[in-house]
Structure 1
Amino acid sequence: MGSFARVGAELEALGARRVLLIASVSAKTRADDLAHHLGDRLAARVHEVRQHVPQALADDTVALARDQGADAVVTVGGGSATGLGKAVALDTGLPLLAVPTTYAGSEATPVWGVTGEHKRTGRDLRALPRVVVYDPELLAALPASTTATSGLNAMAHCVEALWSPDATPVTDLLAAEAIHLLARALPRATWNPGEVADREDALLGAWLAGTAFAVAGGGLHHTLCHVLGGTWGLDHGATHAVLLPYVTAYNAAAAPEAVATVARELRADDAARGLWDLARTLAAPPSLAVIGMPAGGLDEAAERAVTAVGERNPRPVDVASLRRLLDDAFLGRAPGGSARPAG
Structure 2
Amino acid sequence: MSLEFNHVTLAQRVLFGAGQAATNLKNEVDRLGVNRVMVIAGGHEAELARTVAGDIEVAVWHDDVVMHVPVETADKARSVATDNDIDLLVSLGGGSTTGLAKAIALTTGLPIISVPTTYAGSEATNVWGLTEDARKTTGTDDRVLPLTVIYDSELTLSLPVEMSVASGLNGMAHCIDSLWAPGADPINAAMAAEGIRALSSGLPMIVAQPQGIQGRDEVLYGAYLAALSFASAGSGLHHKICHVLGGTFNLPHAQTHATVLPYVLAFNAPFAPEAEKRAAAAFGTDTALEGLQALRSAVDAPKCLADYGFTAGGVPEAVAIILEKLPVNNPREVTADNLTTLLTAALHGDDPASLS
Calculate the TM-score normalised by the size of structure 2.
0.91
Out of 64-73 and 28-37, give the one that drifted further.
Answer: 28-37
> After TM superposition, what 4+ stretches of structure 1 lie above 3 angstroms from structure 2?
none
2:191/2:226 contact within 8 Å kept: yes
1:75/1:85 contact within 8 Å kept: yes
Rounded to whole Å, the distance in 2 between the matches of 1:70 and 1:322 is 45
Q: SS of the counterpart of 1:252?
A: helix
Q: SS of the counterpart of 2:177?
A: helix
Structure 1 unmatched runs, 5+? none
Partner of 1:152: 169
Cα gap change, 1:190 to 1:80, in 2 (>3 Å):
farther
User: Alignment partner for residue 301 of structure 1, among 303, 308, 318?
Assistant: 318
Task: For residues 20-60 of structure 1, give each alpha carbon's deviation from its aligned partner in whole angstroms, at most 9, with x where no partner exists.
Answer: 11012332222122454323xx2211112111001100000
Out of 26-35 and 153-162, give the one that drifted further.
Answer: 26-35
2:34/2:88 contact within 8 Å kept: yes
Aligned length: 337
Calculate the TM-score normalised by the size of structure 1.
0.95
Percent of aligned pairs with the same amino acid: 45
Displacement of 1:262 in angstroms is 1.4
Q: SS of the counterpart of 1:290?
A: helix
Partner of 2:103: 87
Partner of 1:178: 195
Q: SS of the counterpart of 1:115?
A: strand
| Equivalent position amino acid for 2:80 in 1 | L
User: Alignment partner for residue 65 of structure 1, among 81, 85, 91?
Assistant: 81
Displacement of 1:116 in angstroms is 0.5
User: Alignment partner for residue 308 of structure 2, among 286, 291, 297?
Assistant: 291
- 1:272 to 2:289 alignment: yes
Partner of 1:226: 243
What is the Cα-based RMSD across aligned positions, in Å? 1.4
Rounded to whole Å, the distance in 2 between the matches of 1:273 and 1:338 is 14
Cα gap change, 1:259 to 1:306, in 2 (>3 Å):
same
Displacement of 1:337 in angstroms is 6.7
Q: SS of the counterpart of 2:306?
A: coil
Rounded to whole Å, the distance in 1 between the matches of 2:208 and 2:94 is 19
Rounded to whole Å, the distance in 2 between the matches of 1:44 and 1:186 is 35
| Equivalent position amino acid for 2:312 in 1 | A
Displacement of 1:306 in angstroms is 1.0
Rounded to whole Å, the distance in 2 between the matches of 1:167 and 1:254 is 15
Structure 2 unmatched runs, 5+? 1-17
Q: SS of the counterpart of 2:285?
A: coil
Task: For residues 81-138 of structure 1, give each alpha carbon's deviation from its aligned partner in whole angstroms, at most 9, with x where no partner exists.
Answer: 1111111111110000000001111111111100011110011111110000000111
Cα gap change, 1:323 to 1:33, in 2 (>3 Å):
same
Where in structure 2 are the equivalents of 1:111-260 lying within 5 Å? 111-117=127-133, 118-260=135-277
